C-alpha cells in the first residue's frame, strides 16, 4: 500500500500503524489490509471506467471479483464505493447477503452451479447469472419456473484467445472448461436456446480470458469476437443484448518487473477498442453500443495487503565455493499463500521490524510446512543479520492468498486485519486449533 513508511526506529508502518505493535497485539502470521488503499483502487476503477466509456455507451460497470478476496467488510466497502460484485459460489453469495449487498448489482458465475445455489441467487434477486453450459441453461430455466420469476442471464463465451499468462489461470482459449465455444457456433446456439425460454432474459454476452494480464491485445481480440457474436445475435436472432462484459484479469505488480497500466489508462484503451470494434461493423443498426462491464479482482485488492510473518530460523546452505543461500523460515507459508507453489509466483519481502546496516545476503524465505516447495519468496536480498524474532513483510498478498488458503498440516489460518487512520481492527479473526478440532466429530 502507498501508506507504507519507516518510522524513526526503522519499523515499517502502514496507515500510521507500526507492524511491531500489530504483531504484538494480533500475532503472526497475519494479513494486513489497508482499507483506504482498497477503497481508492476500487474508486479508481469505478471512475476510470465510467469516464472512459461515458461517450461510448453511457458508462461502464465494474464488478469486483470476490473470488480474489471477500469478507463482509470488503463487500460493504465495494457497495459503498459504488461498484458491483461478482460471486462464483453459494458461499460468496452468502457473504454478499450477510453484508446486505444490493442484489441487483451482483453477478453470479461458475461452471457448475447447483440447483440450491441458483435458487439462492434468484431468491435474493441477483442482477445476472452467467450461463456456462447447455445443461445450465435448462437448470436455471427450471429453477426460475419453479420460483415464478424471470432470470436475468448472460452467456459466457469462449473467445479462443490465448492470454499470455500462466496456463492454470488462462481461460479464453478453446481447450478448457469454461463457456460456450465461438468456433463451433455453440455460443449462438446458446443465445437461441436462451431466447426461446420465457423464464430467461438474455442480458448480454460475457468473456474472461485469464488473469494477471498486462497486454491489452488479448482484450482487443476478445472484444472483436464478442462484438461479432453480438452482431450475429442481433441480425440472426433479432435480439440486441444490452450488455457486454470483458471479464477481469488485469495484472498487478508483484515485483518491480511488472508495470500495470493505471485504471484510467486501461479503461481508455478498452473504451477505444470497444468503440473501434463497433465502428468497424459499419452497420447503422448496431451503432448503439451495449453497456460494458468488467470484473477486476486482483488489481483492486492485491496491492492493498501484505502478509506479516515472524522469522523462526535462519539456516545457511552452501551453493558451491563462492555462494551461499540463507533459508529464512517464517511462521506460515503455502497454507496462507499457495501461489508460489501453484504458479511459481514471484514475491518480494522486506525486513519490517527494524532497519539494518548489515550487508545484503541472498535469502530464500520459506514456510513451516512439510514440503520443499513451500516457498514464500524465492530469492530476496535480506540483511545478513536477519534473525529469529524479526518480522518480515511480503507485499501484494491481497488477492488469491487468503482466498486460496488451507489448513495444511492442521495450521490455523491467519487473521485479516484492516488498518486505517492509525488504527487496526480484525476483519476475519485468526482460526484456532479448536476451530479445526471442532470439525472432527469422530469419537473414540
Q: Does 305 bind ligand LLP (CB under 6 A)?
A: no
Which residues 79-98 are close enough to bind ligand LLP by CB under 6 A? 86
Helices (H) and strands (E) in the chain, counts: 12, 21
Q: Which is nearer to ligand LLP, 212 or 353 (CB)?
A: 212
Cell of 346: 514471484
Taking the complex as a whole, the smallest distance from the CB of residue 359 to ligand LLP amounts, in Å, to: 34
For 193, other C-beta atoms within 10 Å of its C-beta total: 18
What are the two backbone dihedrals, phi and then psi, of residue 414, each rounded to the nearest 5 degrees?
A: -70, 160
Cα–Cα distance between 239 and 368 in angstroms, integer?
56
Residue 225 marked ligand-binding: no
Q: Please choose, out of 13-21, 193-201, 264-272, 294-302, the segment that lies near ligand LLP by the rule CB under 6 A.
A: 294-302
Q: Does 179 bind ligand LLP (CB under 6 A)?
A: no
- β-strand partners of 305: 33
The only residue of 68, 120, 191, 376 in contact with ligand LLP, by rule CB under 6 A? 68
Q: What is the distance in angstroms between the CA of the first residue and the CA of the last residue of the chain?
A: 49
Taking the complex as a whole, the smallest distance from the CB of residue 400 to ligand LLP amounts, in Å, to: 3
Q: Which helix (H) or strand (E) holds 235?
A: helix 217-237
Spell out, one character per residue from 203 to 242, where the chain touches ligand LLP: x when CB under 6 A holds, - when not.
Answer: -----x--xx------------------------------
Cα–Cα distance between 153 and 343 in angstroms, integer?
32
Residue 339 marked ligand-binding: yes
Q: Does 298 bind ligand LLP (CB under 6 A)?
A: yes
Q: Does 384 bind ligand LLP (CB under 6 A)?
A: no
Query: What is the chain's Cα-based Rg?
Result: 23
Taking the complex as a whole, the smallest distance from the CB of residue 433 to ligand LLP amounts, in Å, to: 27
Q: Which residues 6+ apart lie within 8 Å of 386 measured at CB? A: 311, 314, 326, 328, 351, 356, 358, 361, 363
Q: Which is nearer to ligand LLP, 177 or 429 (CB)?
A: 177
Burial tier of 385 (Cβ tally within 10 Å: 0-12, 13-18, 19+): middle
Taking the complex as a whole, the smallest distance from the CB of residue 327 to ligand LLP amounts, in Å, to: 24
Q: Does 19 bind ligand LLP (CB under 6 A)?
A: no
Q: Which is nearer to ligand LLP, 97 or 109 (CB)?
A: 109
Q: Does 396 bind ligand LLP (CB under 6 A)?
A: no
Q: Does 169 bind ligand LLP (CB under 6 A)?
A: yes
Taking the complex as a whole, the smallest distance from the CB of residue 248 to ligand LLP amounts, in Å, to: 3
**Is 163 within 8 Å of 218 (Cβ atoms)?**
yes
Residues known to be catalytic: 370
Q: Which residues 6+ apart lie within 8 Å of 427 measured at CB? A: 33, 71, 73, 74, 415, 416, 417, 418
Residue 251 marked ligand-binding: no
**Is 130 within 8 Å of 109 (Cβ atoms)?**
yes
The only residue of 249, 340, 395, 398 in contact with ligand LLP, by rule CB under 6 A? 249
Number of residues interacting with ligand LLP: please give it, by CB under 6 A.
23
Which positions lie near ligand LLP, rule CB under 6 A?
65, 67-68, 86, 109, 169, 208, 211-212, 247-250, 295-299, 339, 343, 399-400, 404
Annotated binding residues, written as ranges, equal 249, 295-298, 339, 343, 371, 400
Amino acid at each position: 500500500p502507498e501508506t507504507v513508511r519507516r518510522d524513526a526506529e526503522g519499523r515499517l508502518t502502514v496507515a500510521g500503524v507500526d507492524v511491531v505493535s500489530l504483531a504484538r497485539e494480533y500475532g503472526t502470521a497475519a494479513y494486513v489490509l489497508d482499507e483506504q488503499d482498497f477503497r481508492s483502487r476500487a474508486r479508481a476503477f469505478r471512475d476510470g471506467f465510467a469516464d472512459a466509456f461515458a461517450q461510448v455507451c453511457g458508462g461502464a460497470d465494474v464488478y469486483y471479483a470476490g473470488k480474489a478476496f471477500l469478507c463482509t467488510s470488503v463487500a460493504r466497502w465495494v457497495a459503498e464505493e459504488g461498484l458491483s460484485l461478482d460471486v462464483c459460489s453459494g458461499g460468496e453469495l452468502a457473504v454478499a447477503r450477510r453484508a446486505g449487498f444490493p442484489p441487483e448489482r451482483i453477478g453470479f458465475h461458475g461452471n457448475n452451479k447447483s440447483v440450491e445455489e441458483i435458487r439462492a441467487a434468484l431468491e435474493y434477486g441477483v442482477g445476472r447469472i452467467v450461463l456456462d453450459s447447455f445443461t445450465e441453461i435448462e437448470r436455471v430455466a427450471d429453477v426460475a419456473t419453479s420460483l415464478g420469476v424471470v432470470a436475468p442471464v448472460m452467456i459466457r463465451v469462449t473467445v479462443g484467445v490465448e492470454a499470455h499468462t500462466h496456463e492454470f489461470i488462462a481461460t479464453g482459449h478453446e481447450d478448457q472448461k469454461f463457456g460456450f465455444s465461438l468456433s463451433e457456433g455453440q455460443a449462438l446456439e446458446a443465445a437461441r436456446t436462451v431466447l426461446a425460454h420465457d423464464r430467461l432474459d438474455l442480458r448480454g454476452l460475457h468473456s474472461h480470458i485469464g488473469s494477471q494480464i498486462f497486454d491489452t491485445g488479448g482484450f482487443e481480440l476478445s472484444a472483436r469476437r464478442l462484438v461479432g457474436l453480438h452482431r450475429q445475435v442481433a441480425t440472426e436472432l433479432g435480439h440486441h443484448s444490452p450488455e457486454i462484459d470483458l471479464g477481469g484479469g488485469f495484472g498487478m505488480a508483484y515485483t518491480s518487473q511488472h508495470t500495470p497500466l493505471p485504471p484510467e489508462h486501461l479503461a481508455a484503451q478498452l473504451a477505444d477498442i470497444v468503440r473501434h470494434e463497433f465502428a468497424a461493423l459499419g452497420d447503422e443498426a448496431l451503432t448503439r453500443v451495449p453497456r460494458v462491464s468488467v470484473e477486476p479482482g486482483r488489481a483492486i485488492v492485491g496491492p492493498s495487503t501484505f502478509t506479516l510473518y515472524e522469522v523462526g530460523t535462519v539456516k545457511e546452505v552452501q551453493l558451491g565455493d563462492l555462494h551461499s543461500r540463507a533459508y529464512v523460515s517464517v511462521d506460515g507459508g503455502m497454507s496462507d499463500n499457495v501461489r508460489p507453489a501453484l504458479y511459481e509466483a514471484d514475491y518480494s519481502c522486506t525486513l519490517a521490524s527494524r532497519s539494518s546496516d548489515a550487508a545484503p545476503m541472498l535469502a530464500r524465505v520459506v514456510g513451516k510446512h512439510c514440503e520443499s516447495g513451500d516457498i514464500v519468496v524465492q530469492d530476496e536480498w535480506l540483511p545478513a543479520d536477519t534473525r529469529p524474532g524479526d518480522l518480515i513483510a511480503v507485499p501484494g498478498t491481497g488477492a488469491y492468498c487468503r482466498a486460496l488458503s488451507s489448513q495444511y498440516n492442521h495450521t490455523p489460518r491467519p487473521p485479516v486485519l484492516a488498518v486505517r487512520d492509525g488504527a487496526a481492527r480484525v476483519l476475519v479473526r485468526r482460526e484456532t486449533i479448536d476451530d479445526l478440532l471442532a470439525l472432527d466429530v469422530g469419537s473414540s
